[in-house]
Chain A
Amino acid sequence: MRVGFFLGYGPQARYGTEGLGRYLGGLIKGFTSEGIPVTLAAPIWSKKSLEELFIELDIPIDAVNFVFNAKGEPFVWRVYKWLVLKERKRRSGMLALLTKILGEIVIRFTRTSTISFGKYLPLYILLFLLSLILFIPAVILLGIYYLVSKVLNVARGKTSHLKKGSIKEDEDSSFLEVFHVMTNVVVEQLVEVANKQDCCDIWYVPSSFWPQVNDLKKTVVINVPDVVTSVYAGEFANVVGSHKNTSEVKKTIEGGKYFITYSEYIRKSVVIGDFGKRADCVVAVPHVNNSSKPFIATNNERAKDLNTPAEFDAELSQKMLKKMICKSCPPYYAKRMNFEDVHYLFYASQVRPHKNIITLLRAYEYLLRERNINVKLFLTGVVNPNEYSDVTAYIYEHGLEHDVLSFSGVPASTLAALYKCADLVVNPSLYEGGFPFTLGEGMSVGTPSVMARSPFVIETLEVAGLHDATFDPYNWEDLAAKIEYWLPRRQELYDLELPFYQEQEKRTPDVVARDYLKTFEYFLELDSKRA
């Protein structure tokens, strides 16, 4: 069996820093170690990011056959990068050179003029003329740049810096439409190119954003992580383009035949229940266990030889925390933070409506101010004080910006350190595609979790008899009570969750990859029978 991965993500996707990348990497590694030939079809703009991912995960580039839609990136995207993302190496080099030359002229002029003006007069004139020659084109170029960017700003509805990057971008922005069309065209191209090559027997599509994948000629297996925007339609209503994306997801599922989900809940209630797919064509393959340990597990034996007071794992984690940059708090607070001996609750998640972060904030504020529980709350979602979001507003309106700190975009090793040093992991999420990674990420480095009773948690934790470690996600007081109860009983909670975690831990990347391969074989057989 030859397996193909189909990735149609837009140019903004960064595989190396996101969970998605690690998930894909784990599967690719697992498949190649089983001797399965792997093809990876992706838009050309993902090339660099995928290469970075392969380096980070130590996967040889030649272990995989790459298929790209074209040799070069689309013209529209290149223009956008040049003008908006400012990926212009040449420009900065030119400007730097110009500044350097002008600076040198000024310095030399100053130096020589203090010695003898008359003697160097012809030189001054020459230098002056030279600087004019360099200066005038620079002014003209800057003028052109200014005009072009003005026109472009108007074209994409960027009229105020306050809205830069905000989710409240102009809905009818022609720019977004162009972006959407561009991505669609590229995915269509990619399907065409993939169909021309006999590179695999089965295509695995790890997301359901691209209806075009149903035109792929081989057996296509679509992953349905969730349809969260459909469940939380009201909360996502203010996200530009969310309805279009949801519609694409629905189209993809509607047109698909074979599906993989991360949980029984999504399998039954969404793919079979909402979309009426055949039960035998949908298989739930639970997540891999995401262990944080490999990132921070040091040789602690050496610490003993040196009579070092702190264990090396903890010292390493503290070192990593020290390097983090906090962008959620006022700038003055981000300087010279000392993390040693700071106690905190931790929730690693993006800021999304269904993540239920406001409930966590309510509970936290109550614990801090009314229950005198002296801990901080660390998050990893983007909380930008210059942009409006419900979470940011809550934090600042309630004066919590010095205690609720968010460290976004941290690398996997720092994330592991954050888990290691946390007092308690809290997951208030209402909805996930599968069992939340946060429990394993924390437990692997000794930090237990309290978790919201979302359908997937009920499916697993509750069944495992860990009701006491869960809370009603719609009741912040229940959440607060659980945190208050377990904080001083951290070890007890760890011991309670350990048997469950030990089972979870068995889902290593190899095991999960084998599960996928078995599922693919099953679908291939089914497909041949159906054909």
Chain B
Amino acid sequence: MTKRVLWLSNETWTRECEVPQIIEAGYEVFCPKVCGYGLGESNLSVDYTYDEGLSIPEEDLEYLNKENLYGKVSQHTWEIINKYFGMVFCPPDADIIREYVHLYNGIIVLRFLGDEEGLTCTERLVADCGYHLLYEIGRIKDRFYFAYPNDTYMKDECDLLRGRGLYLPLPLVDAENSDDKTQIILNCPNLSIDAKANRQFQMFLANMSDPFAVYGEQVVPYQHHEDLILGGEYEHMQNAGVSIDLGLGSTLITEPWAQALYRGIPLLYTKDSCAYPLLKEDGPGYCDSVKTLISKARKIHNGDRGLKAKIVRHQADVLSLSEYSVFTEAWKDFFARIEYTAAFLENAMPRNKKIGIILTKAYKGGVLEFTKRFIRALQNEIVKNGAPVELVFAHIDDESYDLNDTFAALRESGIAIRTIRLREMKVTEVNRMLSMAGYLPKKFHGIKDIPTGIVYDDGIHMLMDCDYLINMTDRSGSYQPILPVYPFAVVTHDFIDRYSPIGENFSKIKSSDDDDDENQKKTKKQIAEEKKFAEENHEEIVGQFIRYRREIGPNIINARNADRVFVTSDPGKTDAIQFAMVSKDNVVKLPLLYDLIATKAEFRKNSKDNDKKYFLWVSNVSKHKNHINALKAISEYYRKGGTLKCIMIGAFTQYFDPDSEFKDPFNEDIMNYMLSVRKLVSENDKLKDNIDFMGYQTEELYRKLIQDAAFVIHPGFGDNGNGGAIDAACFGVPTLSNDYPAMQYLSDYANIDCQFTDFNDADKASDELIWMEQHFPEKRKKLNYDKIKEHAADNTEEELYNAVSENIGFRTRLLV
């Protein structure tokens, strides 16, 4: 491959300094033409100059020129990038780096010139993405480099980045210096939106009697003191005789800052200034107060050449800027080092990417079946495409899982299966772990935030031989979230808690003395003791309250921490974005992966039989199955003359039967709910006489019951749709469903033409039940087996493979 660099930046001054150096080293360079960012950045531009030196086909160049390479890009773009570019220069943007780590096969150079909030690069990547990005960088470290401009910018980084660190000097151009200039320039961007910058400006204004000008991009135009505001354009620094940076805690080397250095403009700075990490307190430009700063500025402004020369000399000494040739040599060295290592590793042994697929709870039913179909489909396509990927299946160690039965098919297909146990990692353990693995910065410049959570111990290497994990639900299997140190994806089936919440009685946290009546019965001593208890246990009481729905928290955290959230429907995607507030770029829609439970012959045979005695209700005991409203609607249906019986099936639904004496509660909430359903049925003769609560059915009986039903009902809400409707359609049986987005999606996706109604409106729903009783034969005729089959699991394996591989990256070059 021709030596080419994809240079990901639109900053004019760095481009003018760096790109010629890269070309000098023998590379062709592509610069992005769509500036995907830019707000608040000075001196950005789009430059086509370097396209002339590029030897890639015109149509590909044209395509790249139209792409926003800073966002999530198309598969075609990745093909072009991987085909033509052996090296990329990335800004320290976690999202961009993550994409390149997943999908790029060349050398990644992370160019770090400081951080707006004064963080180390390690902290920045962790804050914006998480420790798992470092884990992933560690896996491709042979082709990853951390390019830092000065030791100061490297010394506090984590071991991983330090180990991959290569010195690449501060961007520099061969410029004139400004000996005869005297203008005082205050570097103060964004006065309208940055309160701190505004305060500094006001303070400076109040104390500075000499004329000065304000340099810096004003994103929102500053309406006051317009005569002083210069803006952030390059040329405004040309008259600067002294540059002042009061500092906003940033360490980012920006253009005016660098210009001051390479043009020989003396820089006056404070401890908060971005110059401080480099020039330190012993520099003659350092000022410990605004008063000192103003005094020095005035001296220089009034012609103190001695002070000016002293500051400039110190700047040049610290940065070794005395000779331009030193700078160009450093760039050459940089590329020589990279090329040497690349040549050394050219014949290194590649290895497969290992992806762990995990089940964190002993799921039965839908999740288990989906997992099996998911693995089967992925494995089939991996083999078909010859992808260098190895799947590992890890499930929770549970006696209900039988390796020879539950997972027999997976074993036969050659997938390695492991059992895992949950292990909770405390802060101290995670701290040690991150430190030993080389992911902790040597020194924190921001707040030290160590995550805690669950890891999955397979008794071998805690699944760390895997490059990536896919958790088949968003549950970690515990009340703790998954420790976000591994890169992982979660499959989110629904966010049912959003639509069917378990409310908390808030008054529980009111303090005991709010209840005066109760207090009157207590002695003063008792009240005092209770108050003392409340005071001492305040944190815990509040903590319990906050964690009351203990499973929701970890699920949301898992979705937020996940590298990708896989969903199986459009409404699921919307909920992941709206409810869990996950970035839409991280949410990936997969096919529904449903299996057909009947053959075409069975479909045909059953479709002809219209002599039906009942409709079937496929349910369970969860509230979101909407039993109360549905029963009211069914009662109305019988009152209006409905003649079909109703059969309810599903795990534990037999306990809804008013004659059931089952009292051993799963938990109090469910039992109370069950009792309220029983009461409703027992008080209504029509319901009592017509509904059969049959509970869980074996597969054979389930098929039989569906086959013989006139239609199926699904009054539930808020979930990801009911697969029972697809099962029924496979036998030519239509469904009457509650109207909500996920069921609408499922009906369209699987071509099963559900009839929709509002089960919360008993009158409307009962009318619809009557209609279904009268018209189900016509509805059956609309069902088409071939259409249902169109999106079945067997026919969407490729779609699944593409969705997963385009996000996780199945062809990333990994070495043994």
Contact = CB atoms under 8 A, between A and B. Distances in A.
Interface in B559-594: 560-561, 571, 574-575, 577-579, 581-584
B404 interface: no
Interface in B31-55: 33-40, 44-46
Interface string A201-236: 000000000000000000000000000000000000
Given A306-B10, A333-B553, A385-B545, A160 B511 contact: yes
A388 interface: yes
Interface in A20-79: 55-56, 58
A298 B509 contact: no
A506 interface: no
Interface stretch (B193-201, B263-271, B609-617): B193-201
Contact of A411 (B10, B195, B514): B195
Most buried by B among A296, A307, A398: A307
A319 interface: yes
Contact of A315 (B39, B198, B561): B39
B35 A308 contact: yes
Interface residues of B, number: 72
A311 to B, nearest CB: 10
A467 interface: no
Interface string B208-241: 0000000000011101110000000000000000
Contacts of A298: 39, 219-221
B733 interface: no
Contacts of A305: 45-46
B553 A388 contact: no
The secondary-structure label for the interface of chain A is loop
Contact of B574 (A319, A374, A385, A403): A374
Interface string B499-516: 101111111011101100
A351 to B, nearest CB: 15
B199 A55 contact: yes
A465 interface: no
B741 A372 contact: yes
Contact of A339 (B38, B503, B575, B581): B581
Interface string A358-379: 0000000000111010111000
A333 B497 CA distance: 14
Contact of B46 (A163, A307, A309, A337): A307
Nearest to B501: A399
A465 to B, nearest CB: 34
Contacts of A500: none
A496 B221 CA distance: 30
Contact of A330 (B498, B553, B574, B718): B553
Interface residues of A, number: 61
A175 to B, nearest CB: 18
B740 A372 contact: yes
A457 B619 CA distance: 49
Contact of B506 (A335, A376, A397, A402): A397
B580 to A, nearest CB: 8
B541 interface: yes
B68 interface: yes
A330 B546 contact: yes
B583 A385 contact: no
A161 B535 contact: yes
Contacts of B510: 162, 388
Interface stretch (A94-102, A340-348, A507-515): A340-348
Contacts of A337: 581
Nearest to B579: A402
A386 B71 CA distance: 40
A346 B44 CA distance: 34
A168 B514 contact: yes
Given A58-B223, A306-B38, A306-B44, 9 more contacts: A160-B511, A161-B538, A162-B510, A297-B221, A307-B34, A340-B584, A374-B571, A376-B578, A398-B503
Interface of B: 10, 33-40, 44-46, 68, 71, 192-193, 195, 198-199, 202, 219-221, 223-225, 497-499, 501-507, 509-511, 513-514, 531, 534-535, 538, 541-542, 545-547, 549, 552-553, 556-557, 560-561, 571, 574-575, 577-579, 581-584, 717-718, 740-741, 760
